[in-house]
Amino acid sequence: MLTDRPVYATLPTSDVARLRRFYEDVLGFSVQQETPTTIYYAAGDGTFFAISRSSGTATGAHTQMAFRTTNIEADVAGLRERGVAFEEYELPKTVEGIADMGAGRAAWLKDPDGNLIGIFQFKAAGLHVADREGRDEIAAGPRIAIAIGSIIDLDVDVIVNAANSSLQGGGGVDGAIHRAAGPGLAEEAGRLAPCPPGEARITGGHRLKMRNVIHTVGPMWSGGDQGEADILASCYRSSLALAEGVDATSVAFPAISTGIYGYPAAKAASVAVREIAAWLDAHERPQTVILSAFSADTAIVLRRAMSDFGRPDLTGE
Ligand code: APR
């Protein structure tokens, strides 16, 4: 069933026994490792997920865990036979539990704790820009679009880097960009450092195919009451202003702060969509903003933020 699909997640639960019955007996997972508080389940491609004893409760409002599959019809049909119910939405419109997401198809079920579990099947190619590839097609598409894959592979004028204030590179997307751009990037960026959280600096693209890299420093998540949302919003605005300054047609953003800095992905996605939309409403440049989703999970979260935002004229959603 779903056991051979790659996934990563930890689901907190106050009722381990009930949840494990669902994951083991209904969804068919086998226990990989068990500690007094946590049960680990093996999934596909060496991935695993865990259910962990906690006093917290699931909200069910966001996708908590997502599986990638190559045959969503068969999976949904098989799980339905086992009595699993799938969510039916107006947006995205689901038909018999399956929604067409443009870049692929998706279905959502709820476990007994109310965790929203996604099953996604993406189109064969690794990279999708709302079904468009290449600069001309990107320009002809919606002004905000999602691309799945590494940001350094995108065909855009400018990419944004989720940097730290030294602008000297790091892990995550920062590491990927610096590795691909070569040492000249850190040299040039170092002259513009330090860059405080919420601000941005622009450099050349060096060995990247993009003309420029905009380096912005996101907030570290510390609970949400330390001004994180304002700092994150400022990252998007500052970066877009620099992109406009170099007359960029297309700009791609990673999901700033949602990796090492720990900002919850769904909250960050709604800040990103809101700020980008506000900018695009008031400015002609950039023409198109691509939200770069390194993983399928990020793409799903961004997609939902776009449909929740309710501006199909900008997002095509
Ligand atoms: N392309 C697009 N997105 C990527 C890529 C890539 N090649 N690699 C990682 N990501 C995604 C992550 O999956 C995450 O969703 O970028 C998002 C941001 O994660 P991080 O790169 O960890 O950035 P952030 O959370 O802002 O942390 C910044 O990390 O690398 C260091 O120097 C950086 O200290 C700074 C901190």
CA dist list (Å): 33 to 28, 36, 41, 43, 307: 15, 10, 7, 12, 38
- For the CA of 218, the closest atom of ligand 1 is 26
Between 116 and 92, the more confident residue is 116
| Range of lowest pLDDT (5-9, 95-99, 275-279, 302-306) | 5-9
Q: 270, 229 in Cβ contact below 8 A?
A: no
Number of domains in the chain: 2
- Report, as an integer, the average pLDDT of 120-145: 61
Q: Are residues 250 and 175 in the same domain?
A: yes
- Report, as an integer, the average pLDDT of 191-209: 97
Query: 133 pLDDT exceeds 60?
Result: no
Q: Are residues 308 and 169 in the same domain?
A: yes
Q: Are residues 222 and 177 in the same domain?
A: yes
- For the CA of 261, the closest atom of ligand 1 is 25
Q: Is 290 in the pocket of ligand 1 (CB under 6 A)?
A: no
pTM, 2 dp: 0.67
What is the pLDDT, as a whole number, of residue 102?
65
What is the pLDDT, as a whole number, of residue 69?
84
Q: Are residues 56 and 133 in the same domain?
A: no
Please say which residue of 76, 107, 122 terminates a domain.
122
Number of Cβ within a 10 Å radius of residue 97: 22
Q: What is the CATH number of the domain that holds 48?
A: 3.10.180.10
- For the CA of 169, the closest atom of ligand 1 is 32
What is the pLDDT, as a whole number, of residue 115?
85
Q: What is the pLDDT of residues 285-312, one digit of tens each?
A: 999 999 998 877 788 888 888 888 888 8
Residue 281 annotated to the active site:
no
Whole domain around residue 311: which residue ranges? 127-315
Q: Is 193 in the pocket of ligand 1 (CB under 6 A)?
A: no
Q: What is the pLDDT of residues 247-289, one digit of tens each?
A: 999 999 999 999 999 999 999 999 999 999 999 999 999 999 9
Q: Is 149 in the pocket of ligand 1 (CB under 6 A)?
A: no
- Report, as an integer, the average pLDDT of 25-46: 86
User: Choosing from 174, 281, 308, 313, which is the catalytic residue?
Assistant: 174
Nearest protein CA to atom 30 of ligand 1, as residue? 171
- 135's CB contacts (< 8 A; 6+ apart) are 155, 156, 249, 250
Q: Is 176 in the pocket of ligand 1 (CB under 6 A)?
A: yes
Burial class (CB in 10 A: 0-12, 13-18, 19+), 304: buried
3: DSSP letter = G
